[in-house]
Chain A
Amino acid sequence: MTTYAPQPGSAPFSRKVLAHTRMEFKLLIRNGEQLLLALVIPLGLLLLLGATGLGNRLPLGDARPIDDAVPRVLALAVLSSSFTSLAIATGFERRYGVIKRLGASPLSRGGLLAGKIGAVLIVQVIQFAVLVGAGFALGWKPVGGAQAVVGVVLTVLCGTAAFASLGLLMAGVLRAEATLAAANLIYLLLLVGGAVMTPVDEYPEGMQSVVRLLPSAALATGLSHSTVDGIIPWAAALSLALWAGVLGYLVSRTFRWD
């Protein structure tokens, strides 16, 4: 005989975060559009740039086309998983009342955020495994050894914090459909005009000072400096950390459970 006698309590924080990470990740890999953004577009772009000779004709940087292309495509992958996918998914979670349901559960705001970031990081590990593998197959030769690895990890973590904050901010203040449209638009605008695929120096002089300040420029430049020059990109990481701080503050001010 079942008893419904109250025995309330929250699971440990780590178990809640793990459960939420697992749920977000499972739902993401069932969603074809999300997979398109996270894997198919970056991989297609890398193959175009590295395997067709297109990279020779585009201003990717001063190194060999494949060496310039890989870190920039990795930046695009981080942008898609930490910003576009996250913003769209969270916007529709709000629309479907999922955020409200979770707000009436023991998950907590910190648990929700940690679970979402956890799912994004798992996606990024898969993105990096696929793209780095494809890069090596196309002849990519990164330099810098352990220093490059530290630079990449630092840049990706700071970039993820900045872009995830931007995505959560949009999902918190816009309707789901507006978030869908705006997140895709910003993804495209940053791809073309945000120094993701093209170094800042290639932009018209009047634009460079503005483009340089964008988080997308810091992300791509940071990854490029890490694997092309073999240095830890402290300036790019600091820029991304500042963006993360400002956007994270705005998220904390605008977040609501309904």
Chain B
Amino acid sequence: MPVAVEIENLVVRYGEKAAVDGLSLTVTGGTVTSVLGPNGAGKTTTVETCEGFRRPDSGSVRVLGLDPIADHDELMPRIGVMLQDGGAWSGVRALEMLRYVATLHSHPLDINTLVDRLDLGTCGRTPYRRLSGGQKQRLSLALAIVGRPEIAFLDEPTTGLDPLGRREIWQLIRDLRDDGVTVVLTTHAMDEAEQLSDQVHVMSAGKVIASGTPDALTEHHTKSLEDVFLELTAPKREIS
């Protein structure tokens, strides 16, 4: 399978502090890959570097073989980005925003079908500022995939959704993968990562500290991914 994302020795600093500190990972095309890590591990910075929002201090990032900053205009039509929050004018109506972003693409998904799939029909004329948290999440996901991207970067895609809503989004992510879309998830929801991922990367202090399939990381599901995550990322205690 082709490599969709290739990161080598990435370092991104905010002032003196290295948010990402020599990180390397690859994402295989047509898979769902989850990036896990405690708060401040550098997940969002890593993904934002792939999306062209952060400039590496050193190392290299290639997405679909392109440099996210130097090749920005060539890359952006090929990726979909779900932001963690915001991303729409406060006064824009949900459907209006979706139609607008669809217009920027050459072969967008059918809007009505997407609206039905994500249950956005009831809030189509509601201004963005009046949408519930769950409706904002669904709209944000719709905006990320409406352009039929090759890679979808989804940041916490089910935060704020009820259990049924989560299951619906999980099925949509599986459908995306089955149709050939590469999905990169950042999430705190371990069950989500375990259910959906073909590959999991666990980050801590700006580095990848473990990678593998959920099956391998959980030793054939003899323990949960949450247990594995806690073992890997728990602060080390010194025994006196």
Q: Interface residues, chain A, CB within 8 Å of chain B?
A: 2-11, 15-16, 19-20, 23, 26-27, 30-31, 92-93, 96-98, 100-101, 103-108, 257-258
Contact = CB atoms under 8 A, between A and B. Distances in A.
Nearest to A30: B91
B149 A9 contact: no
Contacts of A10: 73, 76-77, 104-106
B79 to A, nearest CB: 7
Contact of A23 (B76, B83, B100): B100
Contacts of B109: 2, 4
A257 B55 CA distance: 12
Interface string B63-93: 0000000001100111111010111111110
Nearest to A104: B81
Q: Which residue among B113, B145, B149 has the maximum number of chain A CB atoms within 10 Å of its CB?
A: B149
A37 B92 CA distance: 21
Interface in B41-55: 48, 51-53
Contacts of B92: 23, 27
Nearest to B114: A2
B150 A2 contact: no
From A2, A10, A105, name the one whose CB has the most chain B CB atoms within 10 angstroms.
A105
Given A19-B103, A101-B83, A257-B53, A96 B88 contact: yes
From B88, B100, B104, B114, name the one whose CB has the most chain A CB atoms within 10 angstroms.
B104
Contacts of A23: 89, 92, 96, 100
Given A8-B106, A96-B87, A108-B73, 13 more contacts: A4-B175, A8-B148, A8-B150, A11-B105, A27-B89, A27-B91, A31-B91, A97-B85, A98-B89, A100-B53, A100-B83, A100-B87, A103-B53
Contacts of A31: 91
17 contacts: A4-B145, A5-B180, A6-B78, A7-B106, A7-B148, A8-B148, A9-B105, A19-B103, A26-B96, A97-B87, A98-B89, A100-B53, A103-B53, A104-B79, A105-B101, A106-B147, A107-B104
Interface residues of B, number: 45
A15 to B, nearest CB: 7
A6 B105 contact: no
B107 A7 contact: yes
Interface string B219-232: 00000000000000
B176 A4 contact: yes
Contacts of B175: 4
Interface string B140-162: 00010101111000000000000
A5 B103 contact: no
Interface string B167-192: 00000000110011100000000000
Contacts of B90: 92, 96
B110 interface: yes
A2 B148 CA distance: 11
A100 B89 CA distance: 12
Given A4-B181, A23-B92, A104 B86 contact: no
Given A10-B104, A98-B89, A106-B147, A2 B176 contact: no
A101 B143 contact: yes
